[in-house]
Amino acid sequence: MADMAAKNADAPLFLVEDVHFSYEGAPALAGATLSVERGERVALLGANGSGKSTLLKMLDGLLFPDRGRIGFMGQELSEATLRLDSFSREFRRRVGFVFQNADAQLFSPTVRDEVAFGPLHLGLPDDEVERRVEDTIHILGLGHLKERAPYHLSGGEKKRVALASVLAINPDVLLFDEPTAGLDPKTSSFLVSLAGDLHEAGKTIITATQDLSIVGDIADRALVMGEDHRLAGEGPPAAVLADRELLLRANLIHDHPHRHGGVEHYHPHSHVEGHEHGH
Amino acid sequence: MADGGMLPAWMTERPGGFEPGGPDRAVRQSALARTLLGLGRLARDTIYSEKVAARPGLMQGVDPRVKVAGVLVLLLLASLLRHWYLVLGLYLVSVAMAAAASIPAWFFMKRVWMFIPLFAAVIALPSIFNVVRDGDPLWVIWDFGGEVRLGPWSLGTSLAITQQGVRGAVMLVLRVAASVSLGVLLALTTRWNELLRALRVFHVPRLFVLILSMTYRYIFLLLAMATEMFTARASRMVGPASPREDRRFLAAGMGALLGKSHALSEEVYAAMVSRGFDGEPVTASRFRTAAADWVWLASTATLALSLLAGDRIIG
Amino acid sequence: MHIPDGYISPQTAGGLWALVVPAWYAAGYKVRRTLDARQAPLIAIGAAFTFIIMMFNIPLPGGTTGHAVGGTIVAIVIGPWAAVIAVSVALAIQALFFGDGGILALGANCFNIGFILPVTGYLTYRLIARGAAEGSARRWIAAGVGGWTGLNLAALLTAVVFGLQGELYTAADGSALYSPYGLATAIPAMMVPHLAVAGVVEAVMTSLVYIFLQRTNPALLQNYKTARAGGESRFELRPLIIGLALLLVCTPIGLLATGTAWGEWGADEVADEVGYVPEGMDRYAGAWTGLLPDYGFPAGEEGESLGEGAAETAGVVSVDAARKSAPAYLVSGVVGLALASVAALLSARFLFRGRQEGNRG
Ligand SMILES: Nc1ncnc2c1ncn2[C@@H]1O[C@H](COP(=O)(O)OP(=O)(O)O)[C@@H](O)[C@H]1O
Ligand SMILES: [Mg+2]
């Protein structure tokens, strides 16, 4: 693997070229093109149904394009390559995916088994598995939940277990699908700062979100998915967030009438950022 | 835009004072309400048994593999014994084990007897009469004074409770009670993840154990989904729905649940693959048996063998 | 329809374990070939679904409630082989983790409810629905008939298992060691309420769910077909029917064989013990329908009420209680079982063949 990494040192981590995908005729991606470099922090913004989750699943080798290509460090990600034992094992060790729906990700009898699932299935020796499980559970503050069943946990705890189950693999690339959706402010700021630490440790982090308030904290580059299932724009978070016209087009914010002291007016409005203004 | 902004006028109307009127009818508990009740009870029971399993106690301390083996031996014994008093003895042993596991006696008895053994008693009742099953009369209720025939069937010469009938009925009820008692004891004193791991020792295929564990886990998710669905419906209902409507609603609920379940299974599959699953489950074995486990198994086996030997010697 | 521990002899339980294990292996093999690694979550969640819907109280006419098993609709959606494993897993969880339903009898329950029910239900559905358009009425009728047939065949097998206990296992003094009734009582007592009530509940619910899915989620009904087209293996009817017929024939004979092998268990004394008059007992026997005691629910909530509803009907049916020997009962049991399944499948096939051709013409 080491020489493969060396050989592809200059290839981007992910290269997505004109990717199309549809679910039983319903389009989810219609010509997405982008690339992500190693060590980058990227936010993927887009309204519901714009295809963010689909794109992340493709980056994780769980879905494959109907048309177009996806490259990972210079190698094509396809059903055929992932069927190769050595490739898929190495790929799964390098790329971790935290699903939006924690219930889908937590399928094991106990928190401990859940965290051990990845390392065990990726062929780590038993004592190494044990060590990683203990450490991950510790840094995520799940010690007291170790023997608990996932269905007993609260939403925030589930999210932390889901995160632990991925971090125990120690992936180099982390894909987060709407990590803060439905979480209380404390848990979401915990996640945001953990993502910061992981980035500092050199990991590549790609986050799909609609939560405009966290974009500045989790990304150095923002990509905007339009409702036409293609990339509508990209740039540094500050620039993208300032581009009202782009955000409106992507349906991330919307115009609607407000009445303030009898004055009716329209203004662009995002429901995730508070909405204070004086009149 | 109207006064209420984007809201239609009817949505901005305010209700008057709160004066429920009209004749009140007591509402019969609907099938929906019963289902909800049952779903809630399942969740509560499970949480309770997890609590019991986490308590310190004689049964809880035993290695799950040893415990499963021991309970299997006792279950086999319960179905092999031929004397009712020995089966009763076995039942009492299970009650004593429950006590040693610090399970409240009344709770244990209720859990066991409701409703399987009680039901067995109802089932067995007709068989104690000679008109149903032949035997030596124990107590003649009604002497017909001659053979009574009903078309092609003979009712015999009297209506009586038979010795064999009573013995058979008592036997059935005791057997069922002892078996259920042992089963409930195992379920209550073993954390389910331990039980799962114990199954591996009995050569249950890995994949089957994985499926079993995932099923158990997803039962609770579907339980929550179903409860939510029914609660939403129950809270919107004014007055009782007709059984026909209820049936339709339940069928729609099942259909929706089936659809959601399927979508969920795709997502779970993706999450498993993402973490390296390729169809072959891998498990770590973390079992340690202590001397106490062997003592427990040995005493269980001794009990079983001596009861069985006694049974055969008595004849 | 669950058999709790204590009702059947260990030999019977063992015999049915011996039947269900190969059935599981066959199912596992088929599933592996059609569904690859996707099988684990699909089956698990199918099993969880089965478990949950067994808890749905379905209102019946007359103010009582019953419940459906759902084996047939699950088989239609995830395929019959996956359904065999899914329903078995649901039964195993009830027995092991909730202490309900027998542990020794798990093999018997998995064979009857986990194997016979979904497979025959699905077969019936396939035979009737073959060639029908996706949204057609024939499809949901087929699903309902499948539900009814599957449930009743499973009930019939369960009744045979119960009945064999009364025939085969008696103590030296003639008292019953396990379930006390013979085939002549167990079969009608079990079948009348199942044919008339429980089977109808299953049929109605299966059809209603099917209609709901036709309207809202037709892709789900195509799911198994799609998976099958992707995999290498096809669901072949003929070997399955032959296999099923063999199993049906083997079941009671196998049980008899194990019974006699254990001579001391009194297979020889059995023949004298048969000769019942069913009146009077059918009142209670009707309650067999409710032999699915739910998790810690108050007694009688559904079992008894359902039974009462059926009891009147049950009382009407009489059995030829003339003294017959055990082998004769066995033969009649086997023949009855085989005939009922063949008749259900064939009649369904012929009933709808005319319509199908009519549709084409
Ligand atoms: N499993 C699926 N089956 C069918 N359609 C799907 C499925 N998952 C997503 N879609 C559809 O694909 C489109 C893109 O979905 P998704 O990638 O989940 O978007 P996002 O994550 O941005 O909300 C949506 O229209 C959605 O309805
Ligand atoms: Mg999404």
Nearest CA to B210 out of B193, B225, B224, B190 is that of B193
Burial B102-118 (b: 16+ CB within 10 A, else e): ebeeeebeebbbbbbbb
CA atoms within 13 A on the CB side of B53: 25
Residue of C nearest to B29 (CA): C63
Tell me the average pLDDT of chain C: 69
For the purposes of burial, counting CB atoms within 10 Å of the CB of C218, is it exposed (0-12), middle (13-18) or buried (19 or more)? exposed
Nearest CA to B129 out of B169, B157, B173, B160 is that of B160
| Residue C7 · residue B172 · CB < 8 Å | yes
The amino acid sitting at A150 is P
A 10 A CB-CB count for B19 gives 5
pLDDT at residue C290 in the model: 30
* Contacts of residue C229, Cβ cutoff 8 Å, sequence gap at least 6: none
Torsion region of A18: left, alpha or beta (phi above 0 gives left; psi -120 to 50 gives alpha): left
User: How far apart (Å, rounded) are the C-alpha atoms in residues A167 and A144?
Assistant: 18
* Contacts of residue C104, Cβ cutoff 8 Å, sequence gap at least 6: B72, B75, B76, B79, B179, C5, C10, C13
Looking at CA atoms only, how far is residue B90 from chain C in angstroms? 13
User: How far apart (Å, rounded) are the C-alpha atoms in residues A255 and A187?
Assistant: 30
Is residue A96 lining ligand 1, measured as CB closer than 6 Å? no
Is residue A210 lining ligand 1, measured as CB closer than 6 Å? no
Domain count, chain A: 1
CB contact under 8 A, B277 and A121: yes
In the predicted structure, residue C298 carries a pLDDT above the cut 50: no
* Contacts of residue A208, Cβ cutoff 8 Å, sequence gap at least 6: A43, A44, A46, A52, A53, A55, A56, A175, A176, A177, A178
Residue of B nearest to C190 (CA): B123
Stronger pLDDT, B176 or C353, i.e. the higher one: B176
The rounded Å distance from CA A248 to ligand 1 centre is: 21
Chains that touch B (3 or more CB pairs under 8 A): A, C
Nearest CA to C94 out of C154, C158, C51, C50 is that of C51
> Which residues of chain A make contact with C52, given a CB cutoff of 8 A?
none
Which residue carries 């009945």 as its tokens? C163
pLDDT at residue C116 in the model: 94
Using a CB–CB cutoff of 8 Å, tell me whether B143 touches chain A.
no
- The CATH number of whichever domain residue A249 belongs to comes to 3.40.50.300
- Locate B239 and state its tokens: 């007055």
Which residue carries 């989620």 as its tokens? C217
Residue A62 per-residue DSSP state = S
Render A110-165 in DSSP notation, one character per residue. SHHHHHHHHHHHTT--HHHHHHHHHHHHHHTT-GGGTTS-GGGS-HHHHHHHHHHH
Residue A278 lies in a domain: no
Residue of A nearest to B269 (CA): A104
Residue B116: alpha-carbon gap to chain centroid: 9
Residue C246: pLDDT band (50, 70, 90) is: low
User: Dihedral sign, CA of C81, C84, C87, C88?
Assistant: negative
The rounded Å distance from CA A161 to ligand 2 centre is: 20
How high is the ipTM of this complex? 0.85
Residue A112 lies in a domain: yes
Mutation to probe ligand 1, out of A53, A58, A59, A97 (largest number of atoms < 8 A from CB): A53
User: How far apart (Å, rounded) are the C-alpha atoms in residues A223 and A246?
Assistant: 11
User: How far apart (Å, rounded) are the C-alpha atoms in residues B196 and A113?
Assistant: 12
Render C219-278 in DSSP notation, one character per residue. HHHHHHHHHHHHSS----HHHHHHHHHHHHHHHHHHHHHHHHHTGGGTHHHHGGG-----
pLDDT at residue A167 in the model: 94
Q: How big is chain A, counted in residues?
A: 279
Terminal alpha carbon distance of chain C: 43
pLDDT at residue B195 in the model: 82
User: How far apart (Å, rounded) are the C-alpha atoms in residues B180 and C4?
Assistant: 8
| Full strand arrangement of the beta sheet holding A204-209 | A95-98, A173-177, A204-209, A41-46, A221-225, A231-235
Residue A98 lies in a domain: yes
For the purposes of burial, counting CB atoms within 10 Å of the CB of C331, is it exposed (0-12), middle (13-18) or buried (19 or more)? middle
Alpha-carbon dihedral C79, C84, C86, C88, rounded to 10 degrees:
170
Question: pLDDT tens digits for C94-149?
Answer: 888 877 778 999 999 999 999 999 999 999 999 999 888 888 899 999 999 999 99
Q: What is the pLDDT along chain A (279 residues), one digit of tens a residue?
A: 444 444 556 789 999 999 999 987 789 999 999 999 999 999 999 999 999 999 999 999 999 999 999 999 989 999 888 888 889 899 999 999 999 988 888 888 889 989 999 999 888 998 899 999 999 999 888 999 888 877 778 888 999 999 999 999 999 999 999 998 888 888 888 889 999 999 999 999 999 998 888 999 999 999 999 989 999 999 999 998 888 888 888 888 876 655 555 455 454 444 444 444 444
pTM given for the model: 0.75
> Which residues of chain C make contact with A24, given a CB cutoff of 8 A?
219
- For the segment(s) C10-351, the CATH number from 2.40.30.10, 1.10.1760.20, 1.10.510.10, 3.30.70.20 is 1.10.1760.20
Residue C36: pLDDT band (50, 70, 90) is: low
Using a CB–CB cutoff of 8 Å, tell me whether A121 touches chain C.
no
Burial B131-170 (b: 16+ CB within 10 A, else e): bbbbbebeeeeeeeeeeeeeeebbbbebbbbbbbbbbbbb
pLDDT at residue A76 in the model: 92
Give the residue-averaged pLDDT of C147-160: 93
Beta strand A41-46 with A221-225 is parallel
Question: pLDDT tens digits for B12-28?
Answer: 777 767 766 655 555 45
CB contact under 8 A, B213 and A57: no
CB contact under 8 A, B31 and C9: no
Is residue A229 lining ligand 1, measured as CB closer than 6 Å? no
User: Dihedral sign, CA of B129, B131, B135, B136?
Assistant: positive
The amino acid sitting at C101 is G
Is residue A54 lining ligand 1, measured as CB closer than 6 Å? yes
Stronger pLDDT, C278 or C146, i.e. the higher one: C146
- Locate C4 and state its tokens: 């709790």
In the predicted structure, residue C205 carries a pLDDT above the cut 50: yes
- Locate C336 and state its tokens: 């009855």
Mutation to probe ligand 1, out of A48, A50, A52, A54 (largest number of atoms < 8 A from CB): A54
Backbone φ and ψ for A174, nearest 5 degrees, come out as: -120, 130
> Which residues of chain A make contact with B216, given a CB cutoff of 8 A?
109
Question: pLDDT tens digits for B224-246?
Answer: 888 888 788 777 766 666 777 77
Beta strand A41-46 with B158-162 is unpaired
In the predicted structure, residue C174 carries a pLDDT above the cut 90: no
What are the percentages of helix, strand and coil residues in chain B, rounded to 5? 65, 5, 25
User: How far apart (Å, rounded) are the C-alpha atoms in residues A223 and C309?
Assistant: 65
Terminal alpha carbon distance of chain B: 93
Stronger pLDDT, C142 or C63, i.e. the higher one: C142
pLDDT at residue C228 in the model: 66
Torsion region of C79: left, alpha or beta (phi above 0 gives left; psi -120 to 50 gives alpha): left
Give, to the nearest 10 degrees, the angle between helix B206-236 and helix B31-54: 130
In the predicted structure, residue B269 carries a pLDDT above the cut 50: yes
Residue of C nearest to B30 (CA): C59
Residue C258: pLDDT band (50, 70, 90) is: very low
- Locate C258 and state its tokens: 């194990």
Nearest CA to B113 out of C293, C304, C109 is that of C293
Residue A53: which domain range?
Answer: 2-270
Backbone φ and ψ for A31, nearest 5 degrees, come out as: 90, 50
Smallest Cβ–Cβ distance between A24 and the set C41, C44, C219 belongs to: C219
pLDDT at residue B28 in the model: 54
